Structure 1
Amino acid sequence: MMQVSGEAVYCDDMPFIDGELFLVLVTSPRAHARIISLDPTEALSMQGVCDVITAKDVPGENEFSYYEWPDRLMAGDEVLCVGYIVCAVVADTPEHAKKAAKKVKIIYEDIEPVILTIEDAIKHNSFFEPEKGLNYGDVDEAFKTADNILKGEIHIGGQEHFYMETQSIRVIPRTENQEIEIYAATQDPTYMQSLVAKALGIPSNRVSCHVKRIGGAFGGKIVKTAYIAAIAAVAAKKIKHPVRCILERGEDMLITGGRHPYLGKYKVGYMNDGRIVAADVGLYSNGGCSGTESVVIMEMSVLQTDVSYYTPNLKCYGKVCKTNLPSNLSFRGFGFPQCALITEVWIDEVASKCNLPAHQVRELNMYRKVITTPYKQVFDTTNLTRCWESCMERSAYHTRREDIKQFNIGNPWIKRGIALIPLKFPVAFSAAFQNQAAALVHIYCDGSVLVSHGGTEMGQGIHTKITQIASRELGIPISYIHICETSTTSVPNTISTAATVGTDVNGMAVKNACEKLLKRLEPISSKNPAGSWENWVSEAFFQRISLSATGYFRGYETYMDWEKGEGRPFEYSVYGAACSEVEVDCLTGDHKNIRTDIVMDTGCSINPAVDVGQVEGAFVQGIGLYTTEELKYSPGGSLLANGPGEYKIPSVSDIPREFNVSLLSSSQNPNAIYSSKGIGEAGLFLGSAVFFAIKDALSSVRKERGLSSTFTLNSPATPERIRMACGDKFTDMVTALHLALDLKFYCITVIDKPSLMREVAGQKQGLMLCSDLLLKKKKKKKTLEITAGSLSFRTLFI
């Protein structure tokens, strides 16, 4: 209720303290350069400015590692991307700090090469080591037995976290014992505590980190949030004043990175009936300028490349590209949405090559019953089949598919498409130590209960579910229970709230604490079974029985041995299926989401309303990833899509007109609390059902125009890409222009029938084009042979 009424207090809503200052980050405008000099003199002379904080002001460590990859709080003598933090200005108001930040004079010397794309990184052999790979069966021999071989590649763009609350930090220095108090929007208060302590050169026990609630995070408030907190803490300690740092949206998008763009290359052997016999898949991700979380994310992608399908012979390798972009980070799905789309693309193309319905090929190759994955972990996939069949029935898939065929016959410019996509999403941190959790439960003399745990509330409803767990264990109403905040002073050594296990592990820790308290109360309640909860608590206090208990959950026994190519990196899987129908305007490339039906296996749900909300939200975010959200960079590495005006997140009009979400009935999961399942991340990939429905609609229009139904549609499927995939004389003209622009020459075309020509001008190039132009991509010296109908002519480049 506090959320929807606007009463909920976020970090920047907290009242200002006397003497509180504001910090603004100064970032690099260069993608790769040495810092020749940094002169803050003019900035320091400006109104309200207190100080300019640089790497030299860090009393402890400026260089550190997340996992094993080195990084810096602030640049020393080199910047590695546009948006790299160089220094910070502290002033009495945000306006004064912003003005002064522009006056810090920094002289750079560019360093070559500047690597921005995956293709650039491959060309320059720029990778983070080690490469991760998995080899199951005998791929090379299996290719020899296949009826057909398919080769291809697909690009998947990145995604901005675009949480509603931008990065937000408040640091309050205490006068005694070097104590630092932090209020932050972070998914990992313990990591923030540790990093701040290292930067200040003090023990972690002097740093307390508090998280009331977070306005969305999606994986983007772990690493970079801690960096900003550490810089703010350095400033607060040096100036001896509280410091607040709240990033504006453009700054946030520039500095923080997002989901990794991927390039997938695949070679697939298949039989004429659509059965897959072998697949060799290469995954390349754009990690940015630091490895940070990228290699671990790639590990997950390699492990999950099988998705929902049995491939008897599978080889997969993953490489993380080192580029001059901000370090990309974890994002809801943690590598799964990229690798899963790549697999679904080649499944879809096999269906097209075999002239079979896509759902038939998916069904033919889908896992059934108890299976062994390529990394030799056993899963029972019965619920995968149940979700698939239930979704097919609830969506009336076959009937609507026939209706769509009839609709498309009568509509040359508007086409509809439908797709049914399965889901097998494995859950848990692959490193066992990250699955542990702790909790603290206090019972007060009036019977009220205060619960503290290591998870952070970021809109996913973890506090709601934890309250329900405590209520169930203690046998008291929810109204008796309160969760104040997440704090390192209450529960130490927490793990980040991520990997879909937040409720799983923290719920078990709370359950453990409640069981201890009930055991202490049992002698009193057994003597007075008719007594009230309040009576028992009061009596326990007078009998000097402790009414406070810590709870602990050791976590799941997960591991992965990459040398052997086997392990148990996950605890269980979430299963699901989605059916989406779209309508594509072939003249504009626009599409409408008509209907989506989702069936999701959530186990025995602790809170079905919360779970349905998570599935809906994840699905819509998946629509954004695969259809609308496109990050664009300048040739110099500057982010061009740096705000909602240039970056299109899904809006209310992108939500399917009819949206049905059902939870699979009679599902049990003995691996998690109360037989439930974590649901936060899994549903995002189901947004790809819209992507493949668009491809289905495009296949229809391409067949009408005599074009192949096997074609590449890179993600996101923006209107521009959809329009170009339609394939007609107008898109041929654009293709011709792009080729001419790529040649980077001025050109003059000479032809004896100018009435057939139309002129299309580029920024620096001009090309005369016929309306039915077809290009032969064969360049000889400085001429290009062009065929327009029965006319042939040559273009001379000057």
Structure 2
Amino acid sequence: IGSTKTKLHPVQERMAKSHGSQCGFCTPGIVMSMYTLLRNTPHPKMDDLDKTFQGNLCRCTGYRPIIEGFKTFTEDWEVMRSANENGICAMGDNCCKLSTKRSSTIDTNTLIPANEFTPYDSSQEPIFPPELLVYDILDKQSLVFKNDTVTWFRPNTLEDLLTLKSKQPKAKIVMGNTEIGVEIKYKHQYYPIRIHASQIPELSTVSTVDAGIRFGSAVTLTKVANVLKNQIKAKPKSHTRIFAALLDMIHWFAGQQIRNVASIGGNIVTGSPISDLNPIFIASEAVLEIGSVRGIRRIVMDENFYLAYRTTVLREDEVVISLTVPYSKQNQFFCAYKQARRRDDDTAIVNFAINVTFEENTKMIQAFKVAFGGMGATVQVPLKTCKVMLGRSWNQNTLNMALDSLIEGLPLSPNAPGGMIQYRRSLSLSFMFKAYLEIMNNLNGELNARELSAIEPYQFKVPKSSQMFHILPSSMKTCAVGKPIPHLSAIKQSTGEAVYCDDMPEFKNELHMGLVLSSKAHATFKMDPSDALKLDGVHLFLSAEDISPENNCKLGFQSDIVVFVEKTVTSQGQILGAIVAESQSLAQKAARMVKVTYTELQPVIVTIEDAIKYNSFFTNIVNPSVIEAGNVDKAFTGASHVIEGECRSGAQEHFYLEPQSTIAVPKEDNELEIFCATQCPLFTAQKISTVLNIPQHKIHVRVKRLGGGFGGKEQRPASIAVPAALAANRLRRPVRCILDRDEDILITGGRHPFYIKYKTAFDDHGKILACEIFLYNNGGYASDLSDLIMQRALYHFQNAYNIPNVRAFGYVCKTNLPSNMAMRGFGAPQSMLAGEFMVRKIAEFLGKESNEIAELNMYRTGDITHYKQDVENCTVGRCWRECVTNSNFYERKLSVQKFNSENRWKKCGITLVPTMYGVGFGMPSYQQAGALVNVYTDGSVLLAHGGVEMGQGLHTKMIQVASTVLEISHDKIHTSEVSTVTVPNPTGTSASVSSDLNGMAVLNACEKIKSRLEPFKLANPKGTWDDWVLAAYTERVNLSATGFYKTPTSPYDCSTQSGCFYDYYSAGAACTEVEIDCLTGDHRILRTDIVMDVGESLNPAVDIGQIEGAFVQGYGLFMLEELMFAPDGTTLTKGPGSYKLPSFTSIPLEFNVSLLKGAPNPKAIYSSKAIGEPPLFLASSVLFAVREAIKSSREDAGLPVDDFTLFAPATAAKIRMACEDIFTMKLDIPKPGSFIPWNVDA
């Protein structure tokens, strides 16, 4: 639709200029979603954006800048803009362009340069090529395609379809390929005969019949929704109640992209027990038209339609022709509900539909039917409940009887697949209660006002945001530092021209690698690759036998991760071997054909509790780590109060959108060129060098950009790169290894789960006097970085609070799970929960506000941490106070209290959370960086440094630094890639210090160039940069300079607790207000205000993007993302279908970010501060706001508000079960130990 070589489309331009692209891997998909919306709806509304992006995910940005940029295409925004006096900015009188201030700084509250956008004109879009219209006739012809394994039929008449199905009864009918495609790709199903039936008129038409609307089975869900909308507009409300429920449910069915191709018939015959639509069809008694060569029959979809899991009453040779959804009647009421892990594009946990018909002008039930999804192997219809409801009046007594009947009629085994047993059972009751209220409200509207909140539907609201920052003026026009320059790759990313590892064209003679992974968590094994090697196109099988024992190790930070596992596996997903073949699909197929015979071993240790039980802790590291400060025992003895508590946080998958990727290319003289998606090129080179016994100067690791990293591409890429390099070196041919998502999740591990127990002493005012704390993290099968992660956790558990007396123990647990590793925050966010829980528990104990306790204990300049580091230039208090002011906290808290007093089933909560994060590796050898600056005779500059660009804007910031030092436009400077050839031994891009380290190295190199050019500048003061460069070249002055930097801090000695562990601290504060549904556990973030200290920002747009992205990723950690494991060590969440990232509608409805003003940092480049990791913990404000809302719910139920559990992630299930009430109390609780659960908390 546009390119850098021709012209940008307005969608691409606004995406880039609005700072909506960071790593860029998701950007083309989001651009095309917006482009598609504009082609279909040239003047969209804001709620159209809501639907359009349901199927898109982004891991970097936090979504806000994307929404803000694309809002400018909507009618809502145009109306707002036109109403403003300036006619340009949607910010009205607050527009930064209207500012007349001329102070020492320029303040602004928007990053959207709307006045610079190219106007969008839908009439200029290309039309469909007329010459292709003549080929429409081909779409009406029957077709057959064949290859060696699959025959694909496309009949064009119903008769041909039925004949085919009679001859090939086991053939799979394909419509949108949304189910079969997944089964083939990820479940490795094989369907040799496939029939594409979308071109058959009888299956593709919609018609109105006396009973209702007849939909052909191939009609897409998008078309179904459009037809329903029109019917609802045209018919009386009483006739379209079923349609309205179905339309609402379709909105929450998958995403727009899926709905555009998925068919209504496909959903029915797939027979998923958690289908969103089938409970509606069964409750409404929709009619199916079924065809075969024997003729056509009609059946009612009822409780007999599904015989077993994904099995229907259809015979093998039968085809669903149509579905008729009935009109409703005047005295008929219909409701449908769904609860999922995430609101958008997610499968249901439980869904529900109810169909009630009353005797005319009464509340006496004439007909009653309910259907549930997610309560068994098929859609469940509790017949006893349906029967006993007949003839009864719609009142509280009848409701109570229905609830009791449902408990009996919907038994759910405590080890049922899907887990969350008590939650699912409670949802069945909650949905029945909601339906009772909704129908009662429609019957006579006599509900108590406090009860109405139970049935208020989710209402879309136009999101709002602001970004407050200041720009220091400069006398130099070329001073780029401090300006909100868009990410310099954003335009390429928006056009799809940015190249990632797997985008590289295939090399001549290139081969592909597929990995053989362990499928058991603890077992001995034997392998036989003979069947795989018989396949044509398979060239090589590698295993531990191909590497000397001394070299088959050290792929992690410690030496306990090997290239190929030998004899005994200790986790699923360990690499046993590798197949090299002509294509990726062939390599993966052959890898699955390698026969692996296991002998399972016991015990299988999965959870932290398992590890404690079996005393399973790593012995190759200091375990436990112990820190002690002050006199803990004396403080406890003299304290007025002591409380004990615990908290835990779950695992989190990095879910960078670009999977682990490597291309290894052999060169002459035993050289290897490695294209690798890694944050640590040096580490990758070191491991290849060790295993292949090739010196590092012959291993050239190159990284153009990453599609996200978040710590997941530090050590673990070596596990992919080393086997690829080994194969390339052996075969002397390029080898490409790109992981599928499920492989990536199994192999790489993620964020460490933590379990923490603490005991805290404090006085009558709430001043914390002492803490004894035990921290346990789940390291998985290898220690890797787990001890360093535990070290940071031990140094951060107090969050922003000064605790003078501390005794802390850190245990790294050894389990039979994938080895966990670095992830944004490096253990700090998990442990900081402890400090925050302490403050709140103390407040509840003393009957005080948590803010009062927080302020009393907050760090101040001059304090000393429990690991003996001085707290210098402490800004956490400033951030806190400014956040209180910006958020109108105290005024809004009163509003929250008023709301809660008026509503029983919806509750709000508001809270503040501070953060203080230590910046630095804590290891002197890592605190260094190099840079190379080459100036060419035309004045252009090539800048290289050791930092990897993975969306955080590092290259952009480094170019801004170089531009400022050299006093030239940033347009004259280019960074090509990171390479171990240009900058040797680069420190890994991690720990949030890459701008600090590389920025100083760039500064050092540029100052050398600048000093060399100074004589020529003095000799020709009216000349230009280009003149001075050419003159210097003529005089044979070196126009290439290296730069180097090492952090000038004294090394930290853990034994004596002396020196400086962290370079400095970054601080911030967040205020978040939430609303929860007490009956389902659903929640939404109403507003978040963040104040963050970033020093003097190198680039406010980039830094704000990092703050928002960290917040949303942290929201996933604390509220949504749940890696699930079976008791036998099986990873149950292997992709986006089961593991849910935050989506576009997960973010706050109002999202305000402010950069703290006037807080320069003397310890980093241009007085800036690190930004990648420090803001992430602020997302815990959502969890603690939800906790406040739950307290209000429990108070209404007459339950204690200081005695309930809410651990991270605080999923809908955990929120609902914490809101105990009359419904949850009806449920019997299975006896622990009497069953084996489907999943366990790691």
Deviation at 1:221, TM superposition (A): 0.3
Q: Does 1:298 align with 2:802?
A: no
Which of 676-685 and 698-707 deviates more?
698-707
Which of 368-377 and 712-721 deviates more?
368-377
What does 1:407-426 correspond to in 2, within 5 Å? 407-426=899-918
Q: Does 1:740 align with 2:1201?
A: no
Deviation at 1:732, TM superposition (A): 3.1
* TM-score using structure 1 length: 0.92
Distance 2:902 2:717 in 1: 54
Distance 1:38 1:388 in 2: 59
Cα pair distance change 1:200/1:237, threshold 3 Å: same
SS at match of 1:463: helix
Distance 1:626 1:381 in 2: 29
Deviation at 1:405, TM superposition (A): 0.4
Question: 1:281-325: CA deviations, max 9, x gaps?
Answer: 111000011110000110111112222111121111111001111
Paired letter, 1:73: V
Q: Which of the residues 98, 101, 106 maps onto 2:596?
A: 106
Q: Which of the residues 555, 569, 585 maps onto 1:95?
A: 585
What does 1:166-205 correspond to in 2, within 5 Å? 166-174=659-667, 176-205=668-697
Paired letter, 2:1190: L
What does 1:464-503 correspond to in 2, within 5 Å? 464-503=956-995
Q: Does 1:368 align with 2:368?
A: no
Paired letter, 1:79: V
8 Å CA contact 2:557, 2:715 repeated in 1: no
8 Å CA contact 1:558, 1:570 repeated in 2: no
Q: Which of the residues 540, 546, 555 maps onto 1:51?
A: 540
SS at match of 2:1031: helix
Distance 2:968 2:1140 in 1: 46
Paired letter, 1:635: P
Distance 2:1195 2:1058 in 1: 44
Distance 1:120 1:182 in 2: 41
Aligned to 2:568: 78
Aligned to 1:457: 949
Question: 1:421-455: CA deviations, max 9, x gaps?
Answer: 01111101101110100011000000000000000
Q: Which of the residues 336, 349, 363 maps onto 2:841?
A: 349
Q: Does 1:615 align with 2:1104?
A: no
Which of 705-714 and 284-293 deviates more?
705-714
Aligned to 1:563: 1055
Aligned to 2:1174: 682
Question: 1:447-477: CA deviations, max 9, x gaps?
Answer: 0000000000000000000000000011111
8 Å CA contact 2:555, 2:687 repeated in 1: no
Q: Which of the residues 580, 605, 611 maps onto 1:115?
A: 605
Q: Does 1:448 align with 2:940?
A: yes
Identity of aligned residues (%): 47
Q: Does 1:238 align with 2:730?
A: yes
What does 1:489-568 correspond to in 2, within 5 Å? 489-557=981-1049, 559-568=1051-1060
SS at match of 2:1175: helix
Deviation at 1:404, TM superposition (A): 0.3
**Higher gyration radius (CA):** 2
Cα pair distance change 1:558/1:46, threshold 3 Å: farther
Distance 1:646 1:225 in 2: 24
Q: Which of the residues 509, 517, 521 maps onto 1:27?
A: 517
Which of 60-69 and 281-290 deviates more?
60-69
SS at match of 2:779: strand
SS at match of 1:425: strand
Paired letter, 1:118: I
Distance 2:951 2:934 in 1: 25
Question: 1:375-414: CA deviations, max 9, x gaps?
Answer: 1111235411110000000000000001100100010000
Paired letter, 1:714: F
Cα pair distance change 1:258/1:633, threshold 3 Å: same
Stretches of structure 1 lacking an aligned partner (at least 5 in a row): 746-761, 764-798
Paired letter, 1:553: Y
Q: Which of the residues 301, 311, 331 maps onto 2:823?
A: 331
Question: 1:68-117: CA deviations, max 9, x gaps?
Answer: 44320110121110001100111111111121111101112222211111
Q: Which of the residues 515, 519, 527 maps onto 1:38?
A: 527
SS at match of 1:223: coil
Aligned to 2:83: none
Q: Which of the residues 624, 641, 644 maps onto 1:151?
A: 644
8 Å CA contact 1:431, 1:558 repeated in 2: no
Which of 666-675 and 361-370 deviates more?
361-370
Paired letter, 1:43: A
Aligned to 2:1215: 722
Which of 607-616 and 695-704 deviates more?
695-704
Deviation at 1:146, TM superposition (A): 1.8
Aligned to 2:303: none
* TM-score using structure 2 length: 0.59
RMSD of aligned Cα (Å): 1.4
Deviation at 1:65, TM superposition (A): 6.0
Paired letter, 1:139: V
8 Å CA contact 2:1194, 2:1200 repeated in 1: yes
Q: Does 1:162 align with 2:655?
A: yes
Which of 360-369 and 684-693 deviates more?
360-369
Q: Does 1:605 align with 2:1097?
A: yes
8 Å CA contact 1:430, 1:558 repeated in 2: no
8 Å CA contact 1:429, 1:558 repeated in 2: no
Distance 2:1226 2:1070 in 1: 37
Q: Does 1:627 align with 2:1116?
A: no
What does 1:256-275 correspond to in 2, within 5 Å? 256-275=748-767
Q: Does 1:641 align with 2:1130?
A: no
Which of 368-377 and 115-124 deviates more?
368-377
Distance 1:260 1:456 in 2: 24
Distance 2:523 2:1233 in 1: 27
Task: Point out the structure with the larger strand share.
Answer: 1
Deviation at 1:727, TM superposition (A): 1.2
Which of 551-560 and 583-592 deviates more?
551-560
Aligned to 2:388: none
Distance 1:553 1:28 in 2: 43
Q: Does 1:135 align with 2:628?
A: yes
Aligned to 1:586: 1078
8 Å CA contact 1:135, 1:565 repeated in 2: no
Question: 1:599-625: CA deviations, max 9, x gaps?
Answer: 000001110110000000000000000
Paired letter, 2:521: A
Aligned to 1:11: 501
Paired letter, 2:1111: F
Distance 1:558 1:343 in 2: 28
Distance 2:739 2:825 in 1: 25
Deviation at 1:2, TM superposition (A): 1.1
8 Å CA contact 2:500, 2:705 repeated in 1: yes
8 Å CA contact 2:556, 2:716 repeated in 1: no
Paired letter, 1:51: L
Paired letter, 2:496: G
SS at match of 1:405: helix
Distance 1:671 1:225 in 2: 32
SS at match of 2:634: helix
Paired letter, 2:1132: L
SS at match of 1:438: strand
Paired letter, 2:610: D
Distance 2:569 2:726 in 1: 20
Distance 1:689 1:381 in 2: 24
SS at match of 1:682: coil
8 Å CA contact 1:57, 1:234 repeated in 2: no
Distance 1:159 1:117 in 2: 15
Aligned to 1:752: none
